[in-house]
Chains A and B, each alone.
Chain A
Amino acid sequence: MNSSELIEACLHNDTTAQRYFYENYSARIMGICMRYAAGGKDTEAMAQYVFKKLYTELISCPKDTDISQWVDDRAIWNAIAYLHEDKQRYFIAKTTRYMENKAQTGEPVDEASLNTEDSRKIYLAALHALTPSYRILYNLTYVDGITPDTIIQNLEIARETYKVELEQAKFQFKQYLNTYLHENGLRKQ
């Protein structure tokens, strides 16, 4: 079953095709939701929201393009939509906690000494520590590689706002990363 047939079957509420679509793209969508969500149960809730939206938006999927790219793109923007719907958490005061006064104890840990899986966990933990707005901008700009113009257009924010918030997100991510690497180094020791 090619992508066009899969989309047609899903649009006709074929349960088998919908299950096939879920099994094909659930891992990728789950990875996107793990980056954009705050972790834990929030990731599952976001994944459900994204899948429901994707089944609805399949009618607008272009038939002659790569469906994987389309699924990734729509999953990212639907994950952001999920965060925007949770107004209570999204509008957390963007006060940065630099933890600059936190005492740095123990020996410094070289990042290169960590394996890829440990590094991924540390980076993902640092990403989860960001506020939702910073997490969105950091993911879109540095992880997903979406152009600033597209981000500004889709998020409907000013260019200056984008720049300022991206700098703050970048700074905060690095601080969290230092903290987690230090804690990981302490555990290793």
Chain B
Amino acid sequence: MDYASNNCEGRARELLAPLTGVCPDSVWENVSTDLDARRREMENKWVNKINNVPKMPLLAAAAIAVISISAWMFFSHRDNTLSASTVSISNISEPKKNTNTIASQQPVVKKDTAVKMLNSLVTDPPAQSLPSQNSSVSLTKVNQPVKNQVVQSNVQNTQMQASKDDKDDGRPILIQHDASDPQVITSDQQPSKGVAIDLGGNDNSAPHATMSPSSAEAGPIQDSTAQ
């Protein structure tokens, strides 16, 4: 025979769901004891951690930290000292601004400029030199005379080389110095031996009186003006 109702699950929920009870004091005593133990454990947590940490890794880490900080301070101090000395030197060597400001600010360019300026001073007349306050402009203008100077010096070198070659042949050397017509007259054009030096600077003196081979062989040079 079934005594329980057919909906005993619903009845069970109705009766048992709001069920409450009275906790005996022993429950709180045990719980509070556990909470106190946990509180003491939390308080001693850091102390135990510090005590249980091995000392050697801590000492090693401290030593490494001290060394690295010391090295950093040393190198940083040395860099500051070097930079300070550099600043003082630059202050001493700084030229006046009214002479050449850009050149003083760019010392590398100043070196090349000085060499070119030297060449230009040799070749150019003083009137062509530009004001030194505008060094960049003077550099560009000076380049052209420098090229001309190089060409002229090459011509002179050629003349000197040709005269050296003539010495080897044992032939007479004619050295013609004419600033307006840098023409080299080699000894091939003058088969006669001997030396004829033309120190005149005029163009109309080109057909120089040269010594004939017969006269050269005959003896000393005769003065034609005497005749």
Using CB atoms and an 8 Å cutoff, list the residues of chain A in contact with chain B.
13, 15, 18-19, 22, 26-35, 43-44, 47-48, 51-52, 55, 104, 108-109, 111, 116, 119-120, 123-124, 127, 138-139, 142-145, 170, 173-174, 177-178, 181-182, 185
Contacts and interface: CB of A to CB of B under 8 A. Distances in A.
B3 A178 contact: yes
Contacts of B28: 19, 22, 26
Interface stretch (B32-40, B132-140, B200-208): B32-40
B227 interface: no
Given A27-B23, A30-B22, A142-B9, A35 B16 contact: yes
Nearest to A111: B5
B20 interface: yes
Contact of A31 (B5, B11, B18): B18
Interface in B17-52: 17-24, 26-28, 30-32, 34-35, 38-39, 42
Nearest to B15: A120
Interface of B: 1-5, 8-13, 15-24, 26-28, 30-32, 34-35, 38-39, 42
Q: Is chain B's binding surface mostly helix, strand, loop or mixed?
A: helix
A52 B31 contact: yes
Contacts of A35: 16, 19
A109 B3 contact: yes
A144 B16 CA distance: 9
A47 B11 contact: no
15 contacts: A26-B27, A30-B22, A31-B18, A33-B21, A34-B21, A35-B19, A52-B34, A55-B38, A123-B15, A123-B16, A142-B9, A174-B8, A178-B2, A181-B4, A185-B3
A48 B30 contact: yes
